[in-house]
Amino acid sequence: MTEENGLSCPLRFYNMLVHLRTGSLPAEENVAVKNIWQKDNLVFMDLYFYRSKKSQVIDSVYVKDIFDLSTEKFYASPELFIRDYCAFVSSQGCETESELPETPQFDFKHLEPIKDNLIILTFMAKCTADFNRIKNKAIRDYIFRCLPQTKALSDQYISSYLKDLNPNEDNFLTAVDNLKAKSPEEVEELIKEALKISASDGAVSYTERLWLAEIIQTLREYGIEPDIEF
């Protein structure tokens, strides 16, 4: 079975039922646990999904609970399961992968609805080369307000996502252009958030004012008049 399915996990954990935090309701999947490891204060799980016949690396924070169908043991949290997993692997003397795959496929699809917004906010936060902790927290709070189901995500996970996003000027301008498809209320809230982030270090710089003006001018071209002064 391990060769045919490409699984490298101990047979002890090949028949697991997990509930994943993917929205307002947890998604249920039958999986095999291939590997578990820690990197930069994050715990990753390499899971094989029987339904899609694909493997995927996810942050354990996405796991709500786990049920072992073979032993009928329920784990109310990923931490409880990880403890058993590590104890079993250690007792068997099994070899496990020690390094993160070079190109892991993390599941960020839950942030797709506001990706353009996050590109704009992240660009504004870093355009003066001062993407500090306060700006990072402001963006994280914005994510939680827009997508309450993401509140289970760790601070390190959000920070990692924003760092990987790392938008350039072209990404920013494309995201601004895409705002025409959003409601005036959402756009106005986004600009207020961008202004708040820009002013979080005491003042809105000349560079930040130029980019804020770029957003407002583009919106005006599409007939959207945000009620913003800066």
- pLDDT tens for each residue of 161-174: 787 788 999 999 99
> What is the C-alpha separation between 41 and 149, in angstroms, rounded?
22
**Planar angle of CA 150, 152, 158, nearest 5 degrees:** 65
- pLDDT of 8 strictly over 50: no
* Size of the chain in residues: 230
Q: Are 124 and 204 in contact (CB under 8 A)?
A: no
Q: Residues 190-216: pLDDT tens digits?
A: 998 999 888 887 788 889 999 999 998
> What is the C-alpha separation between 223 and 163, in angstroms, rounded?
33
Q: Residues 83-135: pLDDT tens digits?
A: 888 888 777 766 544 444 443 444 566 778 899 999 999 999 988 877 777 88
